[in-house]
Amino acid sequence: MAFTPPQPLAVCARLAGAGLLALWLGGCLGRGAPETTGSVASTAPVSESSLRQSSEALGQRFEANPGDAETAVAYAGTLRKLGQHAQAVAVLQQAAIRNPRTLSVLAAYGKALAEAGRLKEAQEVLAKAHLPERPDWRILSVQGTVADQLGDFVGAQRYYEAALRIVPGEPSVLTNQGLSYALAKRLPEGEVILRQAALHPRADGRVRQNLALVLGLQGKFGEAEAVLRQDMPPQEATQTLASIKRMVAQPNSWKALRQQAEVKPAAEKTGQNG
């Protein structure tokens, strides 16, 4: 459930969601990407021109055979990266009609719906995207971020706990869980979980930026700056801390925090890295 704080925090992604989250659908200072609230194992950036070329080629393959589940998922993924979320949803909706029991299609469709803000629909689709006897921890984590965005923090924690029973210590899930506690105003608990996530060997700077944000929300600005300096030059860490302070100083800071927890297109929670 990673959420992206206000600029100049420039905390990923997408999700990010990082991831998100996710950052929440992936992995950043937010939920979204790849499908996590706090991102882990980021990938190299791809140019927009390359994405457009890929989109055009995949679009032609999809038009020639709309029933090809693998092509549909790949095409929709490229559209999402280009910010064409409504089109991605439409592609996956067609694919889901033709492949109603293909879990990879349902998983991608559920994530695309969540990124498009269609949370109730996403909730219904994601519930069908894995089997009770074979739960997918990545989808459980995405379900948690959707529940968080709907204000169901207790339900979200159940999803994260279920995911962690499958992959104990997975940093992307822990980050989503910690941010969920923060959204529920249970900041000390969120801090404990985010510290655990930040210690994981695969945790990157975006996870620690989420930790710094939760520390800042508690007024622990010195600790927050120390965490930020692990990944940033001193001047950038100072600027980021200033952004956190401005957010905390707002009379409606909790409302702003909730807004930051929206699914970010770049975050992909059911990706290979959370």
pLDDT digits (tens, 9 = 90+) for 113-155: 999 999 999 999 999 999 989 999 999 999 999 999 999 999 9
The reported pLDDT for the residue numbered 252 is 67
Decide which of 104 and 5 is more confident.
Answer: 104
pLDDT of residue 260: 56
Q: Give the span between the Cα atoms of 180 and 31, in whole angstroms.
A: 10
CA distance 18 to 62: 28
Mean pLDDT value across the chain? 80
pLDDT attached to residue 103: 95
Domains of the chain: 48-260 (1.25.40.10)
| pLDDT digits 0-9 by tens, 10-39 | 332 222 232 333 333 333 333 433 344 433
What's the pLDDT tens digit per position in 219-230?
999 999 999 999
- Phi then psi for residue 131, to 5 deg, are -95, 145
| Confidence at residue 255, expressed as pLDDT on a 0 to 100 scale | 62
Q: Are 25 and 114 in contact (CB under 8 A)?
A: yes
Distance CA 159, CA 110 (A): 15
* CB neighbour burial string for 74-111, b if at least 16 within 10 angstroms, e if fewer: bbbbbbbbbebbebbbebbbbbbeebeebbebbbbbbb
Instruction: Please say whether the beta carbons of 179 and 21 come within 8 A.
Output: yes
Angstrom distance (rounded) from CA 19 to CA 115: 11
Note the pLDDT of residue 246: 86
Cα distances (angstroms) measured from residue 60 to each of 3, 47, 49, 71, 133: 34, 20, 17, 10, 37
Distance CA 66, CA 51 (A): 20
- Provide the 10 A C-beta neighbour count for residue 228: 27
Mutual angle of helices 234-249 and 205-217, in 10-degree steps: 40
Q: 164-200 in b/e burial notation, b at 16+ Cβ within 10 A? A: beebeebbbbbbbbbbbbbbbebbebbbebbbbbbeb
